[in-house]
Amino acid sequence: MALPLEQNDLDPQAHLYAIAERTLPGAGLGGYSLPKDLRFAVSAAEGAHLICTQGRRYIDFVGGAGANILGANHPEVVAAIQAQAAKAIHVFGTLNEAAILLSEKLVAAIPCAEKICFTSTGSEATAYALRIARAFTGKDKVLKFEGAYHGNHDYASFSQFPTAAANYPQATADSGGVPRALQDTMLVAPYNDLEAVEQIVAAEAEDLAAIVVEPVQRVIFPQQGFLAGLRRLADAYGVLLIFDEVVTGFRLAYGGGQEYFGVTPDLASFGKIVGGGGPLGCVAGRAEMLERTNPRNKGRPDYAYINGTLHGNPLAAAAGAATLDVIAQPGFYEHLNQKAETFYAAMQAVLDRHGLPARVTGRASLWQFLFAAEDPKNQLDILAADQASARKLDLALLKRGIYVLPTVRRFFSGVLSEEDLETTLAALDQACQELRA
Ligand SMILES: Cc1ncc(COP(=O)(O)O)c(C=O)c1O
């Protein structure tokens, strides 16, 4: 039994972690558990800051895993949630006003979207995109890229955290509990390697439903022509092209990676920003494909079942719509991306001044430190980089109140102030000194 806070002599954070050690595996959420001396529990968030239960402020570069492009608790998003909460927090089965209004904004914004269907998370959105692709093509296999993350479902749990090069196209499960029977349905190729992709697609075209790709794989940007090459191969071999835009959607540009790179997929999955910090995702795509989920077609063999208690949740839909209204304003992305890239250059100057063989890799509002001579072009380049030094640098920043997750790609949000950036540069300077020592 936990003691009430006033009856024990632990500080509030130690008290909460004492509970979490008993109730949550590894006292963590999902796949993350920070080292004991650096972990913190958030009691409030304000713009670019997180405030922990001991009152310490962190400058936030995790940004809710990318959902918080406007920082935390943006006033217009809060107002929309409050107004919606007063009307309807949750409805199931019949449509709700907030979801309909958001669907119109999504279809207008996303180049491939003639229709969308809602989900609760990005993982669900990618799982459903694969299901729709299989239902539409009548084929089972899907080609993904080594090191690509498509969420937590069984089909996504192949070759997302490899420790060595795959025996292409054979994918390897990264988690216990993934049925062996699925292994043959997932194929894997190296990112940015069109030749390898073509060999696999040509050999497997008869059974291959789709190629699924992150337009920016974690922090690896596509080389010139890579995404357009995938489009060409997909068309040539009768395979669908799916963009997993859970991160890139509404982040690289209002129209996501599709707009930023000028390549339109058949289907795309979204999460994070579209829910404005609430539980919401969607699959977007060509009408003839999305029609496979039309509930009027239930019972037909090509009907793709999609359903969830929280799909189109009005609270998340209102938060998403309010977020989209702010980021749709002219100049939003130019300002965000330019400010971010100026900051990357300033961080690079600090690394260089200390003579560290590290780079700030990334573009637009996605970035990470990599101890490598070049920007990565695939997952093997990431594996070849010095991960141990990157982890040390990240932990040294965390110690100084800069919230980054060690060796995980991070985000830049529009609400970081000049003072936040100066503080971060000063912390980086000290972290570099610590690393060299
Ligand atoms: C590219 C990509 N796809 C899918 C997902 C899964 O989204 P969610 O965590 O909302 O289930 C993520 C999550 O980070 C992601 O980065």
Domain boundary at 69, 93, 113, which? 69
In a domain, 203, yes or no: yes
The active-site residue out of 17, 58, 128, 149 is 149
| Mutate-to-test residue for ligand 1 from 29, 32, 69, 123, highest number of ligand atoms within 8 A of CB | 123
Report the number of distinct structural domains present in the chain: 3
Residues 124 and 46 in one domain: no
- 249 and 360, same structural domain? no
60 in catalytic set: no
Residues 202 and 261 both lie in one domain: yes
Domain assignment present for 280: yes
**Distance from the alpha carbon of residue 346 to the mean position of ligand 1, in angstroms:** 29
Q: Tell me: do 292 and 219 sit in the same domain.
A: yes
Q: Is residue 403 part of a domain?
A: no
Which residues constitute the domain of residue 176?
75-327
- Which of 327, 352, 373 is the C-terminal boundary of a domain? 327
Q: Are 306 and 338 in the same domain?
A: no
Residue 79 inside a domain? The answer is yes
Within a 10 A sphere around the Cβ of 430, how many other Cβ atoms? 14
Q: What angle do CA 55, 59, 63 make, to 5 degrees?
A: 110
- Residue whose tokens read 């009307």: 87
- Per the document, the length of the chain is 437
Contact indicator for 432, 394 with CB cutoff of 8 Å: no
Q: Residue 342: which CATH number?
A: 3.90.1150.10
Please check whether residues 227 and 359 belong to one and the same domain: no
Q: How far apart are CA 164 and CA 188, in angstroms?
A: 13
Q: Are 158 and 188 in contact (CB under 8 A)?
A: yes
Residue 209 lies in a domain: yes
Domain match, 313 and 338 both:
no
Q: What is the pLDDT of residue 1?
A: 46
Candidates 272, 283, 310: which one to mutate for ligand 1, based on the most atoms within 8 Å of Cβ? 272
Judge if 28 and 97 occupy the same domain: no
pTM of the model: 0.96
| Average pLDDT for runs of 10 along the chain of length 437 | 57 91 93 92 97 95 97 97 98 97 98 98 98 98 98 96 92 95 96 98 98 98 98 98 98 98 98 97 98 95 96 98 98 97 98 98 97 97 97 98 97 96 98 95
Q: To test the ligand 1 pocket, which listed residue (32, 69, 118, 150) has its Cβ within 8 A of the most ligand atoms? A: 150
283 and 185 co-located in one domain:
yes
Question: What's the half-sphere exposure (Cβ side, CA atoms, 13 Å) at 41?
Answer: 17
SS3 category, 296: helix
Q: What element of type H or E holds 281? A: strand 281-285
Instruction: Please tell me whether residues 7 and 99 are part of one structural domain.
Output: no
Active site residue 149: yes
Pocket residues for ligand 1 (CB within 6 Å)? 65, 121-123, 126, 149-151, 214, 244, 246-247, 271
Does 404 map to a domain? no
32 is catalytic: no
Residue nearest to ligand 1 atom 16, measured at CA: 247
**Among 38, 69, 100, where does a domain finish?**
69
What CATH number has the domain bearing residue 89?
Answer: 3.40.640.10
Query: Which position among 193, 244, 266, 420 bears the catalytic label?
Result: 244
The answer to whether 280 touches 317, Cβ cutoff 8 Å, is: yes
